[in-house]
Amino acid sequence: MDIKPYKRHAYYYETDKMGIVHHSNYVRILEEARVDLMTQLMIPFREVEARGLMIPVLGVNLEYKYPLRFDDEFEVDCRIEEFNGCKFTISYTVFNVTEGKLSLTAQTKHCFTDERLIPVRLKKKQPDIYEKFEEFYKRKDDLS
Amino acid sequence: MDIKPYKRHAYYYETDKMGIVHHSNYVRILEEARVDLMTQLMIPFREVEARGLMIPVLGVNLEYKYPLRFDDEFEVDCRIEEFNGCKFTISYTVFNVTEGKLSLTAQTKHCFTDERLIPVRLKKKQPDIYEKFEEFYKRKDDLS
Amino acid sequence: MDIKPYKRHAYYYETDKMGIVHHSNYVRILEEARVDLMTQLMIPFREVEARGLMIPVLGVNLEYKYPLRFDDEFEVDCRIEEFNGCKFTISYTVFNVTEGKLSLTAQTKHCFTDERLIPVRLKKKQPDIYEKFEEFYKRKDDLS
Amino acid sequence: MDIKPYKRHAYYYETDKMGIVHHSNYVRILEEARVDLMTQLMIPFREVEARGLMIPVLGVNLEYKYPLRFDDEFEVDCRIEEFNGCKFTISYTVFNVTEGKLSLTAQTKHCFTDERLIPVRLKKKQPDIYEKFEEFYKRKDDLS
């Protein structure tokens, strides 16, 4: 399974009066990339929620390297850094393709829960999702 | 009952690369003012939803007159223009207090529905909300 | 020149507690489609601004028909309804592809200005942009 | 000088389909609180920019503890954790007043730059701003 980076151009409304994409919007871009990753892993988020699973965000860490400007094309690469069957960490790099520069590095922390937000052992409750997730997680070292 | 205009300053993240509040954010500002109006009318939105009532937006119309810039103070005045017991129209003026200029005029159209989005006759289903709403509606001519 | 509709999926962060795309986000979606249209017309917005032209929004009118939900695919069709060499109106339809339903109809009003926001006669100041714009405008009747 | 916490209610449009304030919006709330802090310190952001100073965001770190829901009142406390005359770190706690729970802890990293984004020694370039900033920084230990 070949995971493709998530790609789009920066929208006009994402800019602020400094003329660059406002720093808050990167959190949204990471979510877009994460949703796209899940779809590529054949675990579409929509289905995850339909099965009564939630994936709340526990933490976000962002380091800004170089701005995105209006209409700049960017690519987001995602990798699962840690996964213990319930909690996991995704790391991201956002690359400004138009400028040829690294724009952002980031990590987000999550866990799988049921609808009451009680943590769930994925292997037991949703073994097919567990398998796909685990498989991608194990490939992290090949991607370095 | 004295209805006060809704007031705040424009946020930095609401600006765009033209250096002014992005035109999409006025739709959000109108919602803030509408929620505040409902609270002042003693029909807090939170309670409306708790009773199983929904108030979807059917239409929005905006005329931009003068921009808001970062930190500009603004005031929003709301008035119920039409109300037939189910559908209603609210009109708004957004005034840039810092610059002493009219910033925007707008109207939003709504209806009261149940949770399946079926229109509801408010007088029959929620007579106390109907009374408060109707009373404010009738005062529209005094406000001119 | 064949203009393609603008297409994407609704983002998670565009939804609100009603479970549907928040009504304010359609104004942003229209901007995305407008920027895409300009690129397809070979008048990329970025270049327009580089030439010292501004295209402020004078008015927006939205009629909501059917919601978009998370991950729904949608298409936006744009058409220039009016153009007098300076002011113009674009009309839009947003179609929920996933549900097979019309989601929104809308119009936005604009004018071409210089950087001090003084209206500009496009034909005189930027004749090449005028030609492309006028050509697309004239095709509106073929598109009906 | 008594610094008051930043306060407001959560807006409807800040919620997502989980029924809680979307995690990206906390980055915006922190900015609101930071701008308010600067105003209280008598260094309004507007004036900072008018003097040709920029304060870009270098990093953001967020730990989510308990959600905010629509209309929940919240308070944000800010403290300058580190300051070397150019770079600084602000730490934040967001408290859900309605629920009586800690909602978020966070840090943001910044530096003072000129308009070309070249770092600036504040003490030399803007000594009056330096004094106010340093004074508040020194009080961090009293606040513990």
Whether the predicted pLDDT of B139 surpasses 60:
yes
d(C-alpha D5, C-alpha D33), whole Å: 8
Q: Exposed, middle or buried, D124 (CB in 10 Å: 0-12/13-18/19+)? A: exposed
Chain A residues inside the 8 Å CB shell of C71: 35, 44-46
A36 neighbors A28 (Cβ within 8 angstroms): no
Length of chain D as a residue count: 144
Inter-chain CB proximity B46 and D71 less than 8 Å = yes
d(C-alpha C89, C-alpha C95), whole Å: 20
Partner residues linked to C15 by β-bridges: C21
CA distances (Å), C143 to each of C30, C40, C81, C104, C134, in order?
19, 16, 11, 18, 15
In the 3-class helix/strand/coil scheme, how is chain C assigned residue by residue?
CCCCCEEEECCHHHECCCCCECCCHHHHHHHHHHHHHHHHCCCCHHHHHHCCCECCEEEEEEEECCCCCCCCEEEEEEEEEEECCCEEEEEEEEEECCCCEEEEEEEEEEECECCCCCECCHHHHCHHHHHHHHHHHHHHHCCC
pLDDT at D116: 87
Chain B residues inside the 8 Å CB shell of C63: 58-59
**What letter represents residue B61's amino acid?**
N
Angle at B130 between CA B125 and CA B135, to 5 degrees: 170
d(C-alpha B77, C-alpha B33), whole Å: 8
| B18, B24, B56 ranked by CB distance to C27: nearest | B24
User: Could you give the ipTM of this predicted complex?
Assistant: 0.94
Q: At A35, is the pLDDT very low, low, confident or very high (cuts 50, 70, 90)? A: very high
Chain A residues inside the 8 Å CB shell of C44: 71
Whether the predicted pLDDT of D97 surpasses 60:
yes
Nearest CA in chain D to C71: D17
Q: Exposed, middle or buried, B127 (CB in 10 Å: 0-12/13-18/19+)? A: exposed
d(C-alpha C118, C-alpha C112), whole Å: 8
Q: Exposed, middle or buried, D4 (CB in 10 Å: 0-12/13-18/19+)? A: exposed
In the 3-class helix/strand/coil scheme, how is D66-106 assigned residue by residue?
CCCCCCCEEEEEEEEEEECCCEEEEEEEEEECCCCEEEEEE
Average pLDDT, chain D: 94
How many B/D residue pairs have CB atoms within 8 Å?
Answer: 30
pLDDT at A89: 97
Interface test with B, best of C17, C21, C23 (most B CBs within 10 A): C23
Domains of chain C (ranges, CATH numbers): 6-141 (3.10.129.10)
pLDDT in tens, A91-115: 999 999 999 999 999 999 999 999 8
Inter-chain CB proximity C15 and D13 less than 8 Å = no
Inter-chain CB proximity D71 and B31 less than 8 Å = no
pLDDT in tens, D16-57: 999 999 999 999 999 999 999 999 999 999 999 999 999 999
d(C-alpha A76, C-alpha A103), whole Å: 10
Q: At A117, is the pLDDT very low, low, confident or very high (cuts 50, 70, 90)? A: confident
Which residue in A141, A40, A134 sits closest to A88, CA to CA?
A134
Percent of chain C exceeding pLDDT 90 equals: 89
Whole-prediction pTM value?
Answer: 0.96
Is A116 an 8 Å CB contact of chain B? no
A115-129, B126-140, C124-138, D129-143, range with the lowest pLDDT? D129-143
Partner residues linked to C107 by β-bridges: C61, C91
Three-state secondary-structure class, residue A81: strand
Nearest CA in chain C to A26: C13
Which residue in C6, C58, C4, C51 sits closest to C32, CA to CA?
C6
Three-state secondary-structure class, residue B57: strand
| A28, A32, A71 ranked by CB distance to C46: nearest | A71
Q: How far is CA C130 from its chain centroid? A: 17
pLDDT in tens, A40-94: 999 999 999 999 999 999 999 999 999 999 999 999 999 999 999 999 999 999 9
pLDDT in tens, C2-36: 899 999 999 999 999 999 999 999 999 999 999 99
Residues in Cβ contact with A126 at an 8 Å cutoff, skipping those fewer than 6 apart: A51, A53, A112, A120
Nearest CA to CA, how far is A56 from chain C (Å)? 12
Q: At D2, is the pLDDT very low, low, confident or very high (cuts 50, 70, 90)? A: confident
d(C-alpha A58, C-alpha A68), whole Å: 26
Inter-chain CB proximity B32 and D45 less than 8 Å = no
Chain B residues inside the 8 Å CB shell of A12: 16-17
pLDDT at C143: 56
pLDDT at B143: 56
Which residue in B77, B79, B65 sits closest to B29, CA to CA?
B77
Residues in Cβ contact with B2 at an 8 Å cutoff, skipping those fewer than 6 apart: none
pLDDT at B1: 63
Q: At C1, is the pLDDT very low, low, confident or very high (cuts 50, 70, 90)? A: low
Three-state secondary-structure class, residue A14: helix
Task: Scan for tokens 């199983």, then name that residue.
Answer: B52
Nearest CA in chain D to A54: D18
pLDDT at C2: 83
* Higher per-residue confidence, C79 vs A2: C79
Whether the predicted pLDDT of D1 surpasses 80:
no
pLDDT at C139: 84
